[in-house]
Each structure stands twice: as structure tokens, then as C-alpha cells.
Amino acid sequence: QAPLASLLKSVHREYRRYDRDLAALERRLGRLEPRGHPPAPTRAGEDDGWLQALLDNIKDSILSLDGAGRLRYINLTGERMFGVEAADMLGRPIAPLLELPGERPLLEFLEDLARERETTSIDLAPTPCAGRRSDGGTFPLEMVVSRVERDGERIYILALRDLSERVAAERALRE
């Protein structure tokens, strides 16, 4: 039981760090230009390269969708995670890359998750779902969704974490 308790404590710490990192990225991604163009610098000395390096080296996939569910931005981690290239995906629907729980439409699902995050003061756990790679293979994910309004347009920001390694570790602990 000690290894399981240690694993749970580690997972909880990761969720808290994940939530802090996501909040910081939400503030920054809300400033993205349409079609995934990098944002303008926000502080003296900060440039586009710094933000792009941050987004490309975070462990999580960060996606930005327009109000119709089309991809506006995907970081390098997302490209690797799903086996796609941003140039091929920008402007296309994101639905083929995700398997959501239940039979709800993507935008309804995202809107509900974003609303829950905005209207509660408790630390919400990420929502489990599955990702679909370009080769058709699926893998377990956790998703956190935020919504921002920019120039009257609704933008969804998704932070996705591949759970493949964690699921394998938990399976090994049970065996």
C-alpha cells in the first residue's frame, strides 16, 4: 500500500502543478492571433521565441479551437502526441483526434467543461477521454478546458496529457 499512497501523492502534486501551469498558459494563449500566429510580447524583453519555446517544451499538448471546433493552434507536443503536423491541421475540426465520453457533440462537451471550471472554486480534476493518433491508434488522455473571448470570438483552450505511461505504471503496481 505504501507504493500506491506514494503514487497518489505524486499524482496530486502533478495535478496542482498542472493547474498552475494551465492558468498561466490560459492568460498567455488568450492573446494568440487567429490561425496560430504567436502573440506579441507582453513584457519588456519578452519575445515570440520565448513563448514558442515554452509552449513547445511543456509536457502537455496545448490546443486552441475556434467556436466551431476548428484548430487554431497546436504546440509541438500536440503534433508529436497525435502524429500530425500543425500545417495540415490548422482550420480543420479537432473531433477526429478525440474520443469523448458519452455521445455528446464536441462543442457542447467543451462548453460544459469550461463552464464548470469558471463557476467553481474547487480544484477540478482533469476529464478523462481518449486521443486518436494519425495512424488510428488510441491512447488515454486527461483534458482541462478553458474558454476565453477575444474580439467577440469564443476560443477554447485545451490542455491534454497523455496518460499512457501512468496507466502502465498503475497496471504494474496492481500486478
Walking along the chain (175 residues) 10 residues at a time, the average pLDDT comes out as: 64 69 68 48 58 80 92 92 92 89 82 70 72 94 87 90 89 85
User: How far from each other are the two terminal CA atoms of the chain, in whole angstroms?
Assistant: 13
Q: If you search the block for the grid coordinates 507536443, which residue do you land on?
A: 77
**What pLDDT was estimated at residue 41?**
47
Please state, in angstroms and rounded to a whole number, the distance separating the CA atoms of residues 175 and 166: 14
**What pLDDT was estimated at residue 172?**
86
**What pLDDT was estimated at residue 36?**
47
Please state, in angstroms and rounded to a whole number, the distance separating the CA atoms of residues 160 and 63: 8
Cβ proximity of 119 and 146 under 8 Å? no
Cβ proximity of 73 and 64 under 8 Å? yes
Ramachandran region, residue 53 (left: φ > 0; alpha: ψ -120 to 50; beta: rest): alpha
Q: If you search the block for the grid coordinates 471546433, which residue do you land on?
A: 69
**What pLDDT was estimated at residue 46?**
56
Please state, in angstroms and rounded to a whole number, the distance separating the CA atoms of residues 4 and 119: 32
Contacts by residues 13-18 (CB-CB < 8 Å, ≥ 24 positions apart) = 15/123, 15/125, 15/126, 16/123, 18/60, 18/126, 18/144, 18/159, 18/161
- Cβ neighbors of 22 (< 8 A, separation 6 or more) are 60, 144, 146, 159
Question: To 10 degrees, the CA torsion angle through 9, 11, 12, 13?
Answer: 90
